[in-house]
């Protein structure tokens, strides 16, 4: 009995160390990448030492110094996050008893041999299940099938975590499953390239992390390859920052400081972020020079606007996060400036808002395509700027399946 207790304690300690180590290394890698990018950027104007400088040069140097101070502050916040991650605790509970025997017998009937089952409680009281198993002889089973079996046997809808293999065979493996969030999200994008250009100057991403989907949209200044390069860099860095767990608002602050330090206003792109929490349906918007976003609920449409300037010029007073609660069937729409700026009447956002309200019973794919066609049609087919429409729809997941 004592040996079993010691074995359990050793397994628990090993898991906790690995759990924290993975997260810390992920953060550390991201910080290193950001530092490398920052080191390659221009440092702005340097003092000439001749005492004869105009106000613009003095102001630029002052702004550069402030941006560098801000960046140091952000790095300190990252260090604090790493310390918090290192201190994260995870409760590991051996399932044991009648329930474990029931699951073991049931899975054995499906040709699956179970060695251990643990329940894990981590941050935000999130339930995870860790199972050590293999199949009999030379058969194999998919990870999705195992998730289905466990969902029924534990009466909790479970989904596989990303680090799992797709198939399980005769070799013993450790698998991880987590509670399926309350909502699921479908997303789509529609784009159009500016006339006489071959490359889209906008860049976007649907970034999936934990129980959330984040829409990221950046509109590079101008068009063509330079705009595409700037926008792609912003989206890539935003993903890295979010992957480290720093949040949307801090991501905008970090990028604002980094881009401002370069001192090249011609390459200061916009940033539009919308994070949709699949656990509770909450969505958060952070904008830097971006066009208004829209939330569609049936025939009702809410416009989410911001007066924040593009990255590198954004004032701390405008670094605000707007939060809304979504419901089953709601759609969130992000657009680049090209979709609304050339519409007739001088208020393209109003016209787009009215059009969104008229559309019903459409999927995110249809919604994105219809809105892009509408914008192009309003401009009589002339695409004077790059256009991007992102749509994410939210729906409640089904209930946990019944036994049998």
Average of per-residue pLDDT across 145-165: 88
Confidence of residue 313 (pLDDT cuts 50, 70, 90): confident
Q: What is the pLDDT of residues 336-394, one digit of tens each?
A: 999 998 787 778 899 999 999 999 878 999 999 999 999 999 888 888 899 999 999 99
Nearest of 186, 189, 187, 185 to residue 335 by alpha carbon: 189
Bridge partners (DSSP) of residue 127 are: 121
Q: Which of 386, 371, 276 has the alpha carbon at shortest distance from 341?
A: 386
Where is pLDDT greater, at 13 or 211?
Answer: 211
Q: What is the pLDDT of residue 371?
A: 95
State the pLDDT confidence band at 402, using cuts at 50, 70 and 90: very low
pLDDT band at 258 (very low <50, low <70, confident <90, very high): confident
pLDDT of res. 215: 98
pTM of the model: 0.75
Q: Cα separation of 115 and 110, whole Å?
A: 15
Report whether pLDDT(187) > 90. Answer: yes
pLDDT in tens, 284-309: 999 998 999 999 999 999 999 988 88
HEC assignment per residue over the chain: CHHHHHHHHHHHHHHHHHHHHHHHHHHHHHHHHHHHHHHHCCCCCCCCCCCCCCHHHHHHHHHHHHHHHHHHHHHHHHHHHHHHHHCCCCEEEECCHHHHHHHHHHHHCCCEEEEEEEEEECHHHCEEEEEEEEECCCCCEEHHHHHHHHHHHHCCCEEECCCCCCEECCCCEEEEEEECCCEEEEEEEEEECCCCCCCCCEEEEEEEECCEEEEEEEECCCCHHHHHHHHHHHHHHHHHHHHCCCCHHHHHHHHHHHHHHHCCHHHCCCEEEEEEECCCCEEEEEEECCCCEEEEECCEEEEECCCCCCCCCCCHHHCCEEEEECCCCCEEEEECHHHHCCCHHHCHHHHHHHHHHHCCCCCHHHHHHHHHHHHHHHCCCCCCCCEEEEEEEEEECCCCCCCC
């Amino acid at each position: 009995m004592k040996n079993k207790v010691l074995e359990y304690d050793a397994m628990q300690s090993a898991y906790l160390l690995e759990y924290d180590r993975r997260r810390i290394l992920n953060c550390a890698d991201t910080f290193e990448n950001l530092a490398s990018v920052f080191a390659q950027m221009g440092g702005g104007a340097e003092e000439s030492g001749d005492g004869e400088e105009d106000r613009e040069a003095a102001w630029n140097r002052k702004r550069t110094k402030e941006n560098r101070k801000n960046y140091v502050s952000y790095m300190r916040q990252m260090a604090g996050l790493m310390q918090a991650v290192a201190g994260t605790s995870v409760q590991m509970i051996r399932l044991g008893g009648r329930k474990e025997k029931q699951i073991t017998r049931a899975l054995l009937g499906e040709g699956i041999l179970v060695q251990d089952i643990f329940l894990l409680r981590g941050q935000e009281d999130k339930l995870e299940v860790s199972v050590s198993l293999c199949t009999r002889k030379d058969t194999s089973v998919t990870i999705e099938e195992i998730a289905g079996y466990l969902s029924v046997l534990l009466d909790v809808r479970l989904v596989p975590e990303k680090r799992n293999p797709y198939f399980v065979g005769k070799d013993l493996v450790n698998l991880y499953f987590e509670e399926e969030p309350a909502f699921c999200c479908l997303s789509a994008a529609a784009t159009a390239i500016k006339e006489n250009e071959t490359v889209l100057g906008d860049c976007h991403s649907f970034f999936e992390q934990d129980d959330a989907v984040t829409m990221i949209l950046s509109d590079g200044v101008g068009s063509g390859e330079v705009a595409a390069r700037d926008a792609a860099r912003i989206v890539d860095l935003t993903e890295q920052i979010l992957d480290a767990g720093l949040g949307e608002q801090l991501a905008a602050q970090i990028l604002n400081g980094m881009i401002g330090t370069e001192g090249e206003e011609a390459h200061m792109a916009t940033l539009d972020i919308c994070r949709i929490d699949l656990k509770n349906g909450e969505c958060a918007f952070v904008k830097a020079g971006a066009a208004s976003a829209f939330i569609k609920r049936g025939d009702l449409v809410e416009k989410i606007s911001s007066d924040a300037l593009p990255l590198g010029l954004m004032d701390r007073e405008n670094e605000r996060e707007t939060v809304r609660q979504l419901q089953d069937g709601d759609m969130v729409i992000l657009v680049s400036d090209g979709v609304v700026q050339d519409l007739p009447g001088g208020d393209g956002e109003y016209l787009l808002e009215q059009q969104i309200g008229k559309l019903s019973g459409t999927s995110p794919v249809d919604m994105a395509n219809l809105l892009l066609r509408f914008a192009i049609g309003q401009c009589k087919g002339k695409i004077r700027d790059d256009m991007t429409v992102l749509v994410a729809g939210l729906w409640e997941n089904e209930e946990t399946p019944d036994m049998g």
